[in-house]
Structure formats: C-alpha cells, structure tokens
Amino acid sequence: MNHSRSRRREEARASECGDEPPQTTSASRRTFFKTSLATASLVALAAQKVSAAEPKAVALVDTNVSLGRWFFRRCPLDETPALVAKLREHGVTQAWAGTFDGLLHKDLGSANTRLAAECRAHGGLLVPFGSVNPKLPDWEEELRRCAEVHRMPGIRLHPNYHGYKLDDPAFVRLLTVAAEKKIIVQLAVVMEDERTLHPLVQVPPVDAASLASLMKNLPSLRLQLLNAFRTLRGEPLLRLAAAGAHFEVAMLEGVGGVANLLKQLPSERLLFGSHAPLFYFESAVLKLKESMLTPEQDRAIRSGNALRLSA
C-alpha cells in the first residue's frame, strides 16, 4: 500500500510540473529493444542493397609476367615477392611467368629449374612457362622436362634472342611436338622498344607473319603471341587470328585500344597481359577500364580465355 501511495504522489507532482509520469523499468527496456531491433534491421537491409548494387570482382589471369632482373636496368618489381604483392593487390588469381634468364643464359635447364622452384614458393599464384631454344642440341629433352618434371602447362620462346627465323625446320619441329603434347606455346615478338635497347644488344622484333601458314598444318597448336601489337597489325594480324593464334594487351596503345581492336578480332582471341615488371602493371588494367567493353568481353579477356586455353 505504501508503495502505491508513493507512486501516486510522484505522478501527481509530475503532472503539476508538466512532466511525463515516470515509466516502469520493464517498459523502458521493451521500448529500447524494439528500437534497437528496428535500427539493426534497417542497417542490414541497406547493406544488402549496397552489396547487390556493387558488381562482383572478376578474376584476373595475367598471361605475361617475367621473373628475375632485366639485364640493362633495375625495375621496381624485379624481386619476386614485390611482384607477387602487386599481383595480389589487383586481384590476380594466376600469372603465367617466364624468366629473363631464358633469353641470354645458355644453360636453360638450370634457368627453368630455378623458375619452377620460385613459382612453387608463392602458393600457386605463379605458373611457370619454361624457356626452350630449338637451336640447342638437347631442346627436345628440355621440352620434356618442362612438361613432365616441372609440370609446366606451356613454354615461352624468344626467336630473336636465340637467333632463328620462323621458317627454320627446328622451330617447325618444336611447334609440332608442342601440339602433340598439348603444351601452350608463347612466342615473344619483342621484349622492349628497340629505341631503349643497349647499343651492343640490338634485337629486332620477330617477323611473325609466316606463322599463319604454319598453324594451318597444326590445328591443335595452342599459340599465344606476347607483346605483338607494337609491330603486328593489319592483314597479318587478322590472318593469325583466323588461324587460331591468341594475343595479349601489354603493348596495345591508343585510347579505347581494346575496344577498337575487338572491332577486328573476336574477343576469344585476346587475353590479359601486363608484361610486368618491364611495364607498369596498372597500365594494362587501365586499358580494360577505359575501353567500352560488354560484361562478356571483359570477363573473357580478364580470365575466361586464358582458362579455356590452358584447360
């Protein structure tokens, strides 16, 4: 009874002062919890709407990186951990890696062994592509080691550094063996702008025009030309694409270059490549961003075509 009288006196005083009567503790808690739940629901709904509006990130496969140091200058990413960090930063899930040692070193077996070990040390991000020179007497054995010992899905060729033309019978034999073994062949047309080369090491670009006729006799050949767009264009480019050759974007120049190129080439022939560390990785990504591509074209170039070629 005393509690009830005290309660009524408090309510009367509050009414005289114009205040709201005090609420019970249980009512305050119910109100607090209801308000908190409503706020949490609104926040969760807003987060779902934002998440649904954001496009999902598309996996990125870089088909043109190299490990080691370039012979005539240092590059910012020529230490493998730094290169790997840059690739991961930009969402690269797989990077096809050659080795600079494969250009001028005569012991390609050791160069390829080092390349394979370096790639294994970085959790599967780097996929090794060994160097093979068909003018060396043991090239077929080195090709076998790349495929069977190091489990490399492909090889990288440098005809201009190794001193042979594309009509050389040894080169034709290499393509034939690679096609039989279903090994991807990457052929680097050029490594660097010839104007920046050391005066004592002037290496002209590879003349790749004759490849189209060779590919007609090798329908199962998986061929990708690297750094091709500095010198390859027009009718020779179209013939190679029609014969089944693949390309990448590292040396593609011009505003809207990718979109303009796709007016000539089917999108399934074009892959992403950065040519890091010789080139800035971001420049290759920008080529995709500044071109007006359909979602299907974007996905194909970023990863779909590379995964299909290596399947």
Tens digits of per-residue pLDDT, 17-67?
Answer: 444 444 444 445 455 445 444 444 443 444 444 333 334 567 899 999 999
In whole numbers, what is the pLDDT of the chain averaged over residues?
A: 86
Instruction: Determine the 3-state secondary structure of 8 from DSSP.
Output: helix
* Rounded Cα distance, 53 and 182, in Å: 42
Instruction: Look up tokens 């009288």; give the residue.
Output: 5
Q: Can you say whether residue 155 is alpha, beta or left, with left for phi > 0 and alpha for psi between -120 and 50 degrees?
A: beta
Per-residue confidence at 12, pLDDT binned at 50, 70, 90?
very low
How far apart, in whole angstroms, are the C-alpha atoms of residue 136 and residue 34? 79
- Total length of the chain: 311
For 251, half-sphere exposure in the C-beta direction (CA atoms, 13 angstrom radius) is: 20
Contact 291, 256 (CB under 8 A): yes
256: left (phi over 0), alpha (psi -120 to 50) or beta: left
Q: How confident is the model at residue 199 (pLDDT cuts 50, 70, 90)?
A: confident
Residues 206-221 have a mean pLDDT of: 94
Q: According to the model, what pLDDT value does residue 20 have? A: 44
Range 126-147 average pLDDT: 97
pLDDT at 21: 43
User: Per-residue confidence at 198, pLDDT binned at 50, 70, 90?
Assistant: confident
> Does residue 277 have a cis peptide bond before it, meaning omega lies within 30 degrees of 0?
yes
Place of tokens 């290169």: 83
Kindly compute the dihedral angle of the four CA atoms of residues 189, 192, 196, 199, in this order, to the nearest 10 degrees: -60
DSSP collapsed to 3 states, 99-125: ECHHHHCCCHHHHHHHHHHHHHCCCCC
Percent of the chain with pLDDT over 70: 82
Spell out the domain ranges in the chain: 2-53, 60-310
Q: Between the CA of residue 173 and those of 113, 133, 134, 156, 180, what are the distances in Å?
A: 24, 12, 8, 15, 11
pLDDT of residue 57: 63
Is the separation of the CB atoms in 156 and 98 below 8 Å?
A: yes
d(CA 268, CA 261): 12
pLDDT tens sequence across 238-287: 999 999 999 999 999 988 899 999 999 999 999 999 999 999 999 999 99
Name beta bridge partners: 270. Answer: 247
C-alpha span between 197 and 193 (Å, rounded): 7
pLDDT at residue 72, as a whole number: 87
pLDDT at 24: 44
Average pLDDT over residues 223-231: 96
Q: How far is CA 50 from the centre of its chain?
A: 27
Q: In whole angstroms, what is the distance from residue 23 CA to residue 105 CA? A: 86
* pLDDT, position 268: 96
Position 195 pLDDT exceeds 70: yes
The answer regarding whether domain 60-310 maps to CATH 3.20.20.140 reads yes
pLDDT band at residue 236, thresholds of 50, 70 and 90? very high
Strands (E) across the chain are located at 60-67, 92-99, 126-131, 154-157, 184-188, 222-226, 246-248, 270-271
Write the single-letter amino acid at 72. F
Name the least confident of 6-10, 18-22, 94-98, 215-219.
18-22
pLDDT at 55: 45
Residue 153 has pLDDT above 70, yes or no: yes
**Res 214: pLDDT:** 94
| Location of structure tokens 């503790």 | 25
